[in-house]
């Protein structure tokens, strides 16, 4: 009788612990989804602002069309990766887009009329603010992914994670080209 009660107590404690671990993994999974959603909102806002920036720059006929074209192409790639939630492709496309935006803002220095354009300045400030927000959200996303990935690999949570097919999530990483400074001199050659 006493042995049966002890066994029942152990089963109840084990079940409670298993439920607690499962709920913790669910919480981690949703934290990653929330962090991604926060990035997605800012990417969408920036996506909506970029055509306005390109149009303002196009008003200056001599503005470097190749730079504008690269930004338009990168914007399209970011949108495709964002919609497909392809983290690796998003990292690559983001690198191209950020370099293109850096080039636009650097080349704009050679166009005093463009720099004085109120719409250009507002868009530049808005996009720069969105870029800073995206960078903050990337950091939060990667931290959430790291906590989640560690959580599903730790024992005994790995047993529950495997049972419910929890998969590791990729970090949002960027190319080394994006991490380099823009060579401003090469833009004016």
One pLDDT digit (tens) per residue for the chain, 189 residues: 788 889 999 999 999 999 999 999 999 999 999 999 999 999 999 999 999 888 888 877 667 788 888 889 999 999 998 888 888 888 889 888 988 888 888 888 888 888 788 888 899 999 999 999 999 999 999 999 999 999 999 999 999 999 999 999 999 887 655 445 544 444 444
CATH number at residue 100: 1.20.1440.20
Q: How far apart are CA 127 and CA 102, in angstroms?
A: 11
Give pLDDT, residue 95: 87
Give pLDDT, residue 61: 66
Give the pLDDT confidence of 138-184 residue by residue, as tens digits. Answer: 999 999 999 999 999 999 999 999 999 999 999 988 765 544 554 44
Q: How far apart are CA 33 and CA 164, in angstroms?
A: 17
* 77 burial level (CB within 10 Å; 0-12, 13-18, 19+): middle
Q: Longest Cα pair distance anywhere in the chain, in angstroms?
A: 92
Q: What is the DSSP string of the chain?
A: -HHHHHHHHHHHHHHHHHHHHHHHHHHHHHHHHHHHHHHHHHHHHHHHHHHHHHHHHHTSTTS-HHHHHHHHHHHHHHHHHHHHT-HHHHHHHHHHHHHHHHHHHHHGGG-HHHHH-HHHHHHHHHHHHHHHHHHHHHHHHHHHHHHHHHHHHSTTHHHHHHHTT----------HHHHSPP-HHHHT-
Give pLDDT, residue 173: 82
Contact 29, 168 (CB under 8 A): no
Distance of CA 22 to the CA centre of its chain: 27
Of 67, 6, 27, 49, give the one whose Cα is nearest residue 160.
27
Give the residue numbers spanning the domain of 173.
2-187
- Number of domains the chain contains: 1
């Amino acid at each position: 009788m006493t042995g049966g009660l002890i066994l029942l107590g152990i089963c109840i404690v084990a079940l409670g612990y298993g439920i607690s671990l499962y709920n913790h993994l669910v919480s981690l999974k949703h934290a990653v989804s929330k962090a991604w959603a926060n990035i997605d909102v800012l990417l969408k806002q920036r996506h909506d602002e970029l055509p306005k920036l390109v149009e303002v720059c196009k008003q200056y006929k001599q503005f470097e069309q190749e730079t504008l074209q690269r930004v338009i192409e990168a914007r399209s790639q970011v949108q495709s990766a964002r919609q497909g939630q392809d983290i690796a492709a998003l990292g690559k496309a983001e690198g191209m887009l950020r370099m293109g935006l850096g080039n636009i803002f650097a080349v704009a220095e050679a166009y005093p009329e463009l720099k004085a354009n109120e719409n250009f300045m507002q868009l530049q400030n808005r996009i720069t603010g969105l870029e800073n927000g995206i960078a903050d959200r990337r950091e939060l996303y990667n931290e959430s992914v790291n906590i989640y990935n560690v959580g599903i690999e730790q024992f005994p949570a790995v047993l529950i994670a495997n049972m419910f097919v929890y998969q590791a999530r990729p970090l949002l990483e960027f190319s080394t080209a994006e991490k380099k400074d823009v060579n401003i001199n090469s833009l004016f050659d």
